[in-house]
A and B are shown apart, each in its own frame.
Chain A
Amino acid sequence: MTASKGSAVRPNPTVRLLGLLESLTRPILLLLVTAVDRILTPIQRRVGIDRMGYFFVLPNLIIFGIFVLFPMLLNFYYAMTGGTKLFPADRPFVGLGNFETLFDCEDFLSPNSCQEDLFWRGVFNTIQYVILQVSGIVLFSLATALVLNRRIRARGFFRSVFFYPVLLSPVVVALIWKWVLQYEGVLNAIVEIFGGESKRWLLDTNWAMFWVVFVSVWALMGFYTLILLAGLQSIPPELYEASSIDGANTWQDFRFVTLPLLMPTMFVVLVLSLIRAVQMFDHIFVLTGGGPGTRTQLMVQYIYTTGFSNQIQLFGLSAAASMVLGVSLLILTLLQLRLGNQSSLS
């Protein structure tokens, strides 16, 4: 509109600014392209164009090698050593001794019969926590995403509300809930208003696990809801129109249209939430410290305590426990990937 009025009209400031930036950066970009070209062309001539892909991923591989692969290998070595010295060269090689210590049990179902009873308590607590937390995350995130995908009033507001806890630091989340759940906290005040009796929620061994699961589901579900919401919005509306013409009701829409098409996204949610659940430490550490006793102490806390918080730091045992955790996670993820591939093929 403005352009049609001829040269008397000045272009708007944003366009002018972009033009200025372009004229300023063009020589720099040209210089960069020339420099990169001078470096890459001889390399490409030498290694051939087919192998240039390796060259491009090399920087990432180097970072991966230094910060992931090397520590993993170092951890593997530590797991095979004993003593209390920090440097690998000073540590005596003990082979599988640390793993033997971890798996020295009369009855694997009774942690008290194991030499490292705290490790096995951590294993059982982790299994329980993962099952409850991942189920909770998937179910509540799905339900929330389905609701938030509908045309409801103040949809944008509710989407923000559910996502908000994700932005909070885990320590803040845990402290907020600690205040809510303490004996003189908000929850007991509400319970008393309704004629109930105050309870030490986190001290009760049965309730403690419920609350750590509840708090982490509350804190994390917003993130997974967002992923599922994106998945829901990618389902073509024509499919719902077609199912509606076929006379499908809401449940049938969900069962035969939404769920199958959302499955790949749900699978992503399942894998991500599972990995996060197995690695859980921060929320629980602040909320219950792993207590009461060791009721909510997960494997990661055992690894941390054994390796770092005791006066005599058993790095070898801690590294061995972390390897057990890592391998378990790997097996679970591979299993999930396999199941995911099968379901997408079918």
Chain B
Amino acid sequence: MRRVLALLFILALLASALPSMTQDMVELRIRWYNDGNEGEVLRDLLDRFEADNPDISVEIDTVPYSAILENLPLDLAAGEGPDMARVTDLGGLAQYYLDMTPYLSDPAYWEENFGPFLNWKRLGDDDSSIPGFMTQLTITGPFINRTLFEQAGVDVPSDMSDSVSWEEWAAASVAVAEALEIPYPMAMDRSGHRFAGPAISMGAMYFDDMGHPTVMDEGFRNMAELFVNWHLDGTMHPEMWPLSEGYAGANEEFANAELVFYMSGSWQVGQFSEQIGDAFDWQTVPNPCGPGGCTGMPGGAALVGIGATEHPEEVTRVMEYLASQEVLGEFAARTLFIPAHAGLSAAGVDFDTDLQLAKDSLGVFVGQVGTLEQTAFDLQAYAYNRNVFNATRDRLTQAMVGELTLDEAIARIQDDVDTALAEVSG
């Protein structure tokens, strides 16, 4: 009996001491979304961090991508956001970021390695804040199903020329689809960002002389016309743009070999490696060309600290760990993401896959970085680019189903952009 009482006493003592032990632990929360396995990899990396830093615990709140786009801005505006978040609206949310500079042990490391991409996360005249780092650099570009080309006996256009136009790709994809009775010759993610690369290749300027966003030029119209007509004649997946709200992708169609040519981006490589593997030969081809170049769009996701956090020092410690060359290198290798880190780009990343198709695709995307037009970088750096992208997506969709003529649609895009920007400045 005495022993039992003594044991209970010790347990009670331990229980009373527990709150004081946990009081010293800081719990941080990350709002996160997944394209592939990056959530698992991050958890694994953070487990190691927590083992070495028992005073910090990091919880990952995984949410759908749409919640990052729609709910996070409201939470941040209300001052109720997380401590860190993975975001893609880099400039649009910049007003809520934490400038980690005062807490960083080596700000020069960040400038040196993330320098070109820090501007994407800065607002206005700000040219010095360090709010976070890119978890990945993305490049938009097309995937093709090479096996289908071979089965149809159609030459892959990029095998014969370094500069293949959009029209040539469309003709070849239709030829493959017709020969094999494949339902969809081409598809493009339902996103104004995805459309922007082809539009710039066709000569779209996206900004006027005053730096104001504009779509009222011949290059934009030419690509829009091609794109709308391809939806009408069945070259493009007929349902994806007209029958969706917000973003939509054609991953399933491509993975099921129902699609010949898929305009998407580098973040798909990890997914395709898992979904398709080597079931058929899929590959990335260079961005098609036009009078404005052969460009895709840069982009990516960033992990940023949130200014409203009560623990800026702890947030910075977590960020320093995750952004270190060794950890970020492992993250990139295991997720098959292209790192936006100068040191890693120079050293190269040994991607953690045995699949040659995946390695080749990543190689093509990395090679595309040098072909991106300056307009593409400027548009990506523009804080309200999603305003332009969403209006493009929604109004071109209306043109596809005949609610607007192409010229009306373009005028409406411009009007939507101007109206929203007037509200911002008003």
Contact of A86 among B70, B74, B403 (CB under 8 A): B74
Which residues of chain B have C-beta atoms less than 8 A from A336's C-beta?
Answer: none
Min Cβ gap B71→A in Å is: 8
Residue B78, interface by CB 8 Å? yes
A312 and B387 within 8 A (CB) = yes
Contacts of B245 in A (CB 8 A): 285, 289-291, 301, 305
Bound: A301/B245 CA distance, A: 10
Question: A311: which of B78, B89, B400, B404 is its contact (CB, 8 Å)?
Answer: B89
Interface residue B424 (Cβ < 8 Å from any Cβ of A): yes
Mask of B236-257 contacts with A, CB within 8 angstroms, 1/0 = 0011001111100000000000
Q: How far is the CB of A288 from chain B (nearest CB, A)?
A: 6
A92/B243 in contact, CB under 8 A: no
Contact A86 B386 (CB under 8 A): no
Picked from A117, A200, A289, the residue with its CB within 8 Å of the CB of B412 is: A117
- Contact bitstring A199-237, B, C-beta under 8 A = 1, else 0: 010110100000000000000000000000000000000
**Contact of B239 with A183 in the complex, beta carbons under 8 Å:** yes
Q: CB of B8 within 8 A of chain A? A: no
B168 touches A (CB below 8 Å): no
A217 to chain B, nearest CB (A): 21
Cα A288 to Cα B242 in complex, Å, equals 9
**Interface contact A292-B242, CB-CB below 8 Å:** yes
- Asked whether A289 lies within 8 Å of B244 as measured between CB atoms, the reply is yes
| Contact (Cβ within 8 A) B70 A309 | yes
A314: chain B residues within 8 A (beta carbon):
420, 423
Q: A117-B412, A293-B400 are in contact. Are A86 and B242 (CB under 8 A)?
A: no
In chain B between 391 and 409, which residues have their CB closer than 8 angstroms to a CB of chain A? 397-398, 400-404, 408
Chain B nearest CB, measured from A170 CB (Å): 15
B232 to chain A, nearest CB (A): 11
With A310-B420, A311-B390 in contact, do A288 and B404 touch (Cβ < 8 Å)? Answer: no
The docked-state distance in angstroms from the alpha carbon of A128 to that of B78 is 38
Partner of A294, one of B183, B244, B246, B398: B398
Q: How far is the CA of A3 from the CA of B221 in the complex (A)?
A: 92
Q: Is B92 an interface residue (CB 8 A)?
A: yes
Asked whether A112 is an interface residue with its Cβ less than 8 Å from the other chain, the reply is yes
Is A85 interfacial (CB-CB < 8 Å)?
A: yes
Cβ-closest chain A residue relative to B412 = A117
- Cβ–Cβ contact A205 & B89, under 8 A: no
Size range of the chain B interface in the assembly: 20 to 34
Q: Does B69 contact A (CB under 8 A)?
A: yes
In angstroms, Cα B400 to Cα A128, docked, is 22
Instruction: Report the separation of the CA atoms of residues A308 and B69 in the bound assembly, to the nearest whole angstrom.
Output: 9
A165 within 8 A of B: no
- CB of B39 within 8 Å of the partner chain: no
Q: Does B370 contact A (CB under 8 A)?
A: no
Q: How far is the CB of A202 from chain B (nearest CB, A)?
A: 6
On chain B, the residues within 8 Å of A183 by CB distance are 183, 239
Residues of B within 8 A of A265 (CB): none
A112 to B397, CA, bound (A): 15
Question: B245 to chain A: closest CB distance in Å?
Answer: 3
Among A117, A292, A308, A309, the residue within 8 A (CB) of B243 is A292
Residues of chain A lying within 8 A (CB to CB) of residue B243: 202-203, 288-289, 291-292
Contact B424 A84 (CB under 8 A): yes
Which one of B89, B183, B421, B426 lies within 8 Å of A92 (CB-CB)? B426
Across the interface, which residues of A come within 8 angstroms of B244, CB to CB?
289, 291
- B89: chain A residues at CB < 8 Å are 311
B74 cross-chain contacts in A, Cβ below 8 A = 86, 308, 313
* A205, B404: Cα distance in complex, Å: 14
A122 contacts the other chain (CB 8 A)? no
**What residues on B are CB-neighbors of A288 within 8 Å?**
243
Taking the complex as formed, is B277 at the interface, i.e. its CB lies under 8 A from any CB of chain A? no
Q: Report whether B398 and A312 are in contact in the complex, using a CB–CB cutoff of 8 Å.
A: no
Task: Say if the beta carbon of B157 comes within 8 Å of chain A.
Answer: no
A81-101 toward B: CB 8 Å interface, digit per residue (1/0)? 011111100001000000000
What's the Cα separation between A293 and B400 when bound, in Å? 7
Within 8 A of B (CB), among A53-70: none
Q: Given that A288-B243, A295-B401 are contacting pairs, would A82 and B238 also be in contact in the complex, using a CB cutoff of 8 Å?
A: no
A289 contacts which chain B residues (CB < 8 A)?
Answer: 243-246
Cβ 8 A contact of A202, one of B70, B183, B239, B384: B239
Is B408 a contact of A112 with CB atoms below 8 Å?
yes
| B248 nearest CB neighbor, chain A only | A289
Which chain B positions have C-beta within 8 A of A291?
A: 242-245, 397, 401
Report yes or no: B384 in contact with A311, Cβ–Cβ below 8 A: yes
Whole-angstrom CA separation of A314 from B92 in the bound complex? 15
The 8 A CB mask of B365-398 against A (1 = contact, 0 = none) is 0000000000000000000101100100000011
Let me know if B401 and A205 touch, CB within 8 A.
yes
Beta-carbon nearest neighbor of B385 in chain A: A311
Partner of B92, one of A82, A117, A290, A311: A311
Picked from B77, B242, B246, the residue with its CB within 8 Å of the CB of A85 is: B77
Q: How far is B240's CA from A183's CA once the two chains are assembled, in angstroms?
A: 12
Instruction: List chain A residues, Cβ under 8 A from B238.
Output: 200, 203
> What would be 14 A-B contacts, judged by CB atoms less than 8 Å apart?
A84-B423, A112-B408, A183-B239, A289-B245, A291-B245, A293-B397, A301-B245, A309-B70, A309-B390, A310-B390, A311-B420, A312-B384, A312-B387, A312-B423
Across chains A and B, which 4 residue pairs bring their CB atoms closest together, nearest first? A289-B245, A293-B401, A311-B386, A86-B77
Q: A183-B183, A291-B243 are in contact. List 13 more A-B contacts (CB 8 A).
A: A83-B423, A84-B423, A92-B426, A121-B403, A203-B239, A288-B243, A289-B245, A291-B397, A292-B401, A293-B397, A309-B70, A311-B386, A312-B384
